[in-house]
A and B are shown apart, each in its own frame.
Chain A
Amino acid sequence: MPVMNMVTAVNAALRQEMRRDDRVVVLGEDVGVNGGVFRATEGLYQEFGGERVIDTPLTESGIVGAAVGMALYGLRPVPEIQFLDFIYPAFDQVVSEMAKYRYRSGGQYTCPVVLRTPYGGGVRGGHYHSQSTEAYFCHTPGLVVIVPSTPYDTKGLLTAALRGEDPVIFLEPKRLYRATKDEVPDDDYVVPIGKARTVREGSHLTLICYGAMVPVAEEAAAKAAEHDVEVEVIDLRTLVPLDVDAIIESVKKTGRVVILHEAAKTGGFGGEIAALIAERAVDSLEAPIVRVAGYDTPFPYTLEHLYMPDVARVSDAIKKVVEYH
């Protein structure tokens, strides 16, 4: 079985679907001849030509707006926004057009755009190449929001997204692009959208995370195990629709919860998870829910390693919650 990192997994999913379905086209800045600044679309231009792997003018609202128009005509456009931090010129096309087209047309049109974009810090890119602003998109009805954390899930989830009818924000944790490797089947498979993955089972505490924070959570859980604290790590994989059942089931088992994300704390998706747990499983809780998140500052440059949650901060939260009586 071939070994892939996240970049090659993205590439494999795109290639597989483009071979299988001539509706799939890729567009964005530098995605063609250059193969994308992270090389996610490498070789696609050579295989499928400039008609399907389209180097566009430098305007995010144009990339997404054109993708919407293509989707309405029956294509499956896959726009790449070079960094999530650059998406804001396209925000209107994402939240008012791509997300709402099906609803506002009474289902006459669908808008199956799969928008890929790298997000998150850890690449010394300052705040224009590092932010995690998934909450904006989770707050927008009509969008599916996917955040994979492994090469296997990346290929399977992207494949599922490209075969669905819904508009998708596909957030790729750029810090993990080349950091993890998996055996990824050459065959075509899908990882279902809306299903969380239990990364590690445990009975003392539920640690909920996604994307770039999953390896941090795994390391913190391994450290906790050295102190006989068994942490159950849940990788959400999809934020909308959210696998609420997986969360609640685990919380009922452990009674203690830490929520971990890289995004700024205030208004972050962790607040939503905490509220859902409070609504559905408050009787099972034996300690307050604790969030570990990015600080409520702009994303820094020099001190980024202190901004992003690390194993020490997660371990501190685990200790606090486990020791609460």
Chain B
Amino acid sequence: MVEGVLQVMESALEARDDKKKKGKPEIDLSDDQIKEIYRAMVLTRALEERGTALQRQGRIGFYIGSWGQEAAQIGSAYALRKDDWIFSAYREAGTALLRGIPVRHLVAQCLGNADDPARGRQMPCHYTFRKANFASVSSPIGTQIIQAAGTGMAMKYRKKDSVCISYFGDGATSSNDFHSGLNFAGVFKAPVIFLCTNNQWAISLPVSKQTASESIAAKAVAYGMPGVRVDGNDVLAVYKVTRDAVERARNGEGPTLIEALTCRMGPHSTADDPTRYGGDREAECWREKDPIERLRHFMEVRNGWTKEDDEKVWEDARGEVARAVSEEERVALPPLNSLFEDVYEKVPPHLVEQRDELLRIHPPKPAKDEGDDYKFP
């Protein structure tokens, strides 16, 4: 049930050099598709570079990134259709970008301004993009795992062939909701892909302190579903195992647990200092396995990808992020009365009263056309 760690990229290159080699996993992605994947990975990293810098400069309050984990999210999300739902943890911004959510909307969310589709209600990186079937990100760990099972059950009840993917880290496998989520999905054969991004750390705790299980994938056995381990920095391998799991789910064969082995190359968040617990040393030895570097190498060998091609992709990505930041920094905060909206379907009398009190004591200032005095939280 749980075997070795699947890798595709290197063996695909070998197979290319040696046409007689057999039994190597095939890659059914066109050159253009591989480039699309690469661009999404680069854009995800470019957003993080800028997000982290904005936090350091005090222009946003917080940022939580996925440095080194771009392959696990992009490779898996690339295996989905648009009607499939994404229940992300807080490190999968790239999956929203891949679905065409404009960078501006992610930046707006981090700024909490009036352009944020979630109306400035959550701290940075806690996105919701209903248009992209991207559910709301929660801070408590694991809550989305059982929700994905419920959505999967609803898809099945509605006789759709859509599926859900639920992302979570190694720390989340200790949570109640991991257990209930996998258990429900197993019992009801819900079309769910559980993708554990095992980045080896839950803030300061290594995975060995999280579980005594020989692997996370091994836990699948107890829930009556297949568990697979994949090199989470090999984007083509992640794509392949996810595609297989999606196919099973669409065919009514139930859920799959995927353990994508990767590494958190940065801190847990901008509020974390990995030197306190040795998290920085381990990250260092993963640098050579950087998933973006690996895919670039692959494309150089297989697709004749050039230095110029690469520079253009990075330039475009960084430019898009820079433009988004400069545009969004001019956008005002959500209006004061929005504080009281969306609590209930209609604003109930007690909230009307509280809203009126706020507007009386803090009357809204006249709108500025430029956000020159805009203060970041």
Residues of A whose CB lies within 8 Å of any CB of B are 25, 51-52, 54, 56-57, 59, 61-62, 65-70, 72-75, 77, 89, 92-93, 96-97, 101-110, 141-142, 144, 164-166, 194, 241-242, 244
Contact = CB atoms under 8 A, between A and B. Distances in A.
Contacts of A67: 150
Given A102-B342, A105-B128, A109-B135, A241 B349 contact: yes
B181 A106 contact: no
B345 A165 contact: yes
Contacts of B128: 104-106, 108-109
B345 A110 contact: yes
Contact of B177 (A61, A72, A75): A61
Given A66-B149, A103-B342, A109-B128, 5 more contacts: A103-B121, A104-B136, A109-B130, A141-B343, A144-B344
Contacts of A105: 118, 121, 128, 130, 136, 342
A62 B140 contact: no
Contacts of A106: 116-121, 128, 342
Nearest to B120: A106
A105 B109 CA distance: 11
B126 to A, nearest CB: 7
A97 B143 contact: yes
B291 interface: no
Please tell me the size bucket of the interface on B: 35 or more
Nearest to A97: B143
Contacts of A101: 136
Closest 4 A/B residue pairs (Cβ)? A69-B150, A62-B180, A65-B146, A66-B150
A98 B24 CA distance: 46
Contacts of B215: none
A62 B349 contact: no
Given A97-B143, A104-B126, A68 B150 contact: yes
Given A52-B157, A241-B349, A62 B118 contact: no
Contacts of A56: 184
13 contacts: A56-B184, A65-B150, A69-B87, A69-B150, A72-B151, A96-B138, A102-B343, A102-B344, A105-B342, A106-B120, A108-B136, A142-B344, A241-B344
B349 A65 contact: no
A80 to B, nearest CB: 15
B270 interface: no
A65 B350 contact: no
A73 to B, nearest CB: 4
Interface of B: 85, 87, 116-122, 126, 128-130, 135-136, 138, 140, 143, 145-155, 157-158, 164, 176-177, 179-181, 183-184, 187-188, 341-345, 348-350
B328 to A, nearest CB: 16
A57 B153 contact: no
A72 B140 contact: no
Contacts of A54: 153, 188
Given A65-B180, A241-B348, A92 B154 contact: no
Contact of A244 (B152, B176, B350): B350
Contact of A104 (B122, B145, B151, B187): B122
A65 B148 CA distance: 9
B147 A66 contact: yes
Nearest to A56: B184
B225 to A, nearest CB: 14
B140 A61 contact: no
Contacts of B122: 104
A25 B157 contact: yes
Contacts of A103: 121, 342-343
A120 to B, nearest CB: 25
A6 B343 CA distance: 30
Nearest to B130: A108
Most-contacted residue by chain B among A54, A75, A107, A165 (CB, 10 A): A107
B235 to A, nearest CB: 28
B350 A241 contact: yes
Contacts of A70: 150-151, 153-154, 157
Contacts of B116: 106
Contacts of B151: 69-70, 72-73
A164 B345 contact: yes
